[in-house]
Amino acid sequence: MDLREGRQRILEHAELNAFISVSSEDGEGTVVAVKDLVDVAGMVTTGGGVILPREPASKDAPVITRLRREGCVVIGKANLHEFAYGVTSENPHYGAVRNPHDLNRVAGGSSGGSAVAVAAGMCDWAVGSDTGGSIRIPASFCGVVGFKPAFGSIDTTGVIPLSRSLDTLGPMAADVETVARAYSMMSGESMPIDNLREPRLAVPAGWVANLDEQTERAWKLVSSGLPEVTFADRETLYSVGLTVLLVEAAVYHRRWAAEYPEKYGADVIGHIRRGLGLLAVDFDEAIVALPRLREEAVRAMDGIDALIVPTSAIVAPPLGAGTEVREPITRYSRPFNTTGQPVVCLPAPVKGLPVGIQVVGRTNNDTIRAAAWLERKWKTLVA
């Protein structure tokens, strides 16, 4: 793809609201969309909000510097859920990001614009961020591949934080091969996916229940015959991760929330206030629990290469769906921010609205390789 082609696609599909701004860059190279949390020299970083100064960034974030060394060009800053603090990308300031499979449904969040840019062919691949599922959820809803690498794999300097103990950057693309190549560009870590062998797969016992009809059908297809293994308690992982996120996000936003509450969307200011109301002892317990839970997750992976788990309990809900969708959307993604494990979201081989399946591994390369093997296998299956 070249920049002109990508920009034309953005214009032709303006109704998707995939971008907050489009760059004026010239040149040839891999065309990348960048979530508008990440500094790109010469472009304003909004975070999907209206509080930050409207001044262009003076320099690239380190991850963008890496991409430029690899010959990438930035097509624009992708739309997102305000300050990455939500799972729908219904942005009150820049318009709701719409799902290209059904314009009346959400794209997922918070990296909704990045997922839509990939799904609608506006770029070669896109940069997203993930704190509770923000790469994997929109990848699932939009039918693309998303990769949340192991915590700490990619430098997050020059990126507006949500929760510094959980934030990760990662790529989104149309297939695993492109995701692997993109991740190598972002991180410098080699990611070979040749000579694949069948991975040892399993399902976490007692985790998966109460899926909607489309997701249940996809889950039965891909999990049939796989053994169950004992893994860390899902609800504990979920609650610990949520507590850390709520408090760390509240700390970052507390001054603005006090001075300019009207400049936030109703859901985001509500989350910030919830975080401000949590007790210090609860946050301390959660932070102390993080390393223990991460060690437990590593031990639980002994003897297997990857777990598979639904990305979300439901397919993309309609625009305007209430807060009741937040838990089923994040039920299976948030726990793996707590464990810090690498996860690929892979589209299930189903017709209709997309359904994403998480491939959860031990190392970045093990995870990518397991996902690449499954991607090839699933091409022979259709639910």
Longest dimension (CA), the chain: 57
Six-digit token string for 282: 């609860």
- Residues 6 or more apart from 209 whose CB is under 8 A from it? none
CB half-sphere exposure, 149, CA atoms < 13 A: 25
pLDDT of residue 323: 85
Measured on CA atoms in the order 110, 112, 113, 114, is the torsion positive or negative?
A: positive
Q: What's the pLDDT at 191?
A: 95
Q: Beta strands 145-148 and 343-347: pairing type?
A: antiparallel
| 383 residues of the chain, pLDDT tens digit each | 999 999 999 999 999 999 999 999 999 999 999 999 999 999 999 999 999 999 999 999 999 999 999 999 999 999 999 999 999 999 999 999 999 999 999 999 999 999 999 999 999 999 999 999 999 999 999 999 999 999 999 999 999 999 999 999 999 999 999 999 999 999 999 999 999 999 999 999 999 999 999 999 999 999 999 999 999 999 999 999 999 999 999 999 999 999 999 999 999 999 999 999 999 999 999 999 999 999 999 999 999 999 999 999 999 999 999 889 999 999 999 999 999 999 999 999 999 999 999 999 999 999 999 999 999 999 987 65
Query: Structure tokens of 68?
Result: 């430029």
The angle, 0 to 180 degrees and rounded to 10, between the axes of the packed helices 234-259 and 280-300 is 140
Q: Residue type at 88?
A: T
Which active-site residues does the annotation give? Answer: 35, 110, 134
* pLDDT at position 383: 52
Write a three-state SS string for 308-347.
Answer: EEECCCCCCCECCCCHHHHHHHHCCCCHHHHHCCCEEEEE
d(CA 111, CA 33): 11
Backbone conformation region of residue 351, classed left if phi is above 0, alpha if psi is from -120 to 50, else beta: beta
- Record: fold of 1-383: Amidase signature (AS) enzymes (3.90.1300)
Q: Say how far apart CA 288 and CA 348 lie, in whole Å.
A: 36
- 16 and 133 Cβ atoms separated by less than 8 Å: no
Q: Give the separation between CA 362 and CA 343, rounded to whole angstroms.
A: 9
**Nearest CA to 179 among 102, 126, 216?**
126
> According to the model, what pLDDT value does residue 380 have?
85
Q: Euclidean distance between the first and final Cα of the chain, in Å?
A: 32
Give the C-alpha separation, 55 to 45, whole Å.
8
